[in-house]
Homo-oligomer: A and B are copies of this chain.
């Protein structure tokens, strides 16, 4: 007989979801009210302006799509691109490949710019590709590659794209609230994110923001958006500032949670949140390196919120993750795609980015690894991290 589900509380240090703050979980469980209730409609407006703060944008069309990050990605592509359009897609990990799928499924043409996994997108390659494809309409790239832990210079990439009369589609799923992101200053046009990474909210929603230029494109399409559910022309009517037009029933409670997590971000201050992610990354890094583990991403491109380290030879990486989960209720992430079996991905995102999580992760990893390999440096990781935390 099935019974109520009672999950074992875990510490989430994988690539997302991250730990959700008790305040956010409490908000999630508040009584459901109607999606047309005036109180709910006011809250929607607050969510919009809190999201504008998180994205550092004044874009009027800044909303959470009522589905996970991959639906946010699809929202950007199906609204911005029409069949036959050429899109330069940069791939340096899993998610560039998904962008290509999106372009092709809507009848667009994807021109790929490939970089090694773990490296940032190379701006020179993008520039060369745009010179060779003067009819390209858009450039798409990932700010923070969740599959590798590498950051790309989206400010520079946006400048190059605009110089060649292209709009930009930018994945900020793992960067939003975790590392510097300035949508307006950097000129990103169609931007999507997720709630379960550095916002430390539950998974299921995808914040999206569209520049004026992007909105013009959406309003002046020659063809209808292929998806009814994701058509921003309709969604705008629902989230707009005038009379609301019923589109779908908003995920009420999930939006309570997002509201609370965005409020916590505002209370902490965005720059402070970025700094916290960096400080904690440096402490974790000090500990991991003291233990003898190596980062796969070159220092200047490393994401503070996602730490990819190589697995020591002779270590069964899946077994280590299973033991971390069973013995310490600690989740870290496996490698994805070409990095499967080669790296661990240790997340320090949102509420997971805390000193106590660093201590747990380092001590648990040291305890297990030192049983398997004699050459793991023991007794030094904690001190190294603590020293860095105090720095």
Contacts and interface: CB of A to CB of B under 8 A. Distances in A.
Contact of A32 (B20, B39, B67, B325): B20
A225 B5 contact: no
Given A32-B203, A226-B227, 20 more contacts: A2-B263, A4-B27, A5-B43, A5-B256, A7-B39, A7-B40, A7-B256, A17-B252, A20-B253, A25-B30, A32-B202, A34-B331, A66-B68, A68-B249, A105-B228, A194-B249, A202-B251, A202-B252, A203-B251, A204-B204
Chain A interface size, as a band, is 35 or more
A260 interface: yes
28 contacts: A2-B49, A2-B263, A2-B266, A3-B263, A4-B27, A9-B31, A12-B34, A17-B32, A20-B253, A25-B32, A28-B28, A37-B325, A38-B325, A66-B67, A66-B68, A67-B67, A70-B228, A71-B229, A71-B248, A74-B227, A104-B224, A105-B227, A202-B254, A203-B250, A203-B252, A204-B204, A204-B253, A226-B226
How many chain copies? 2
A5 B259 contact: yes
Nearest to A256: B5
Q: Kindly name the residue among A12, A19, A105 whose own CB sees the greatest number of chain B CB atoms within 10 A.
A: A105
Nearest to A329: B33
A328 interface: no
Main secondary structure of the interface of A (DSSP, over half): loop
A343 interface: no
Interface of A: 2-10, 12, 14, 16-17, 19-20, 23, 25-35, 37-40, 43, 46, 49-50, 66-71, 73-74, 98, 101-102, 104-106, 194, 196, 202-204, 224-229, 246-254, 256-257, 259-260, 263, 266, 325, 331, 336
Contacts of A28: 28-29, 253
A170 to B, nearest CB: 18
A340 to B, nearest CB: 10
Q: Kindly name the residue among A5, A66, A73, A246 whose own CB sees the greatest number of chain B CB atoms within 10 A.
A: A5
A25 B29 contact: yes
Contact of A2 (B10, B17, B46, B70): B46
A14 B26 contact: no
Nearest to A16: B249
B251 A46 contact: no
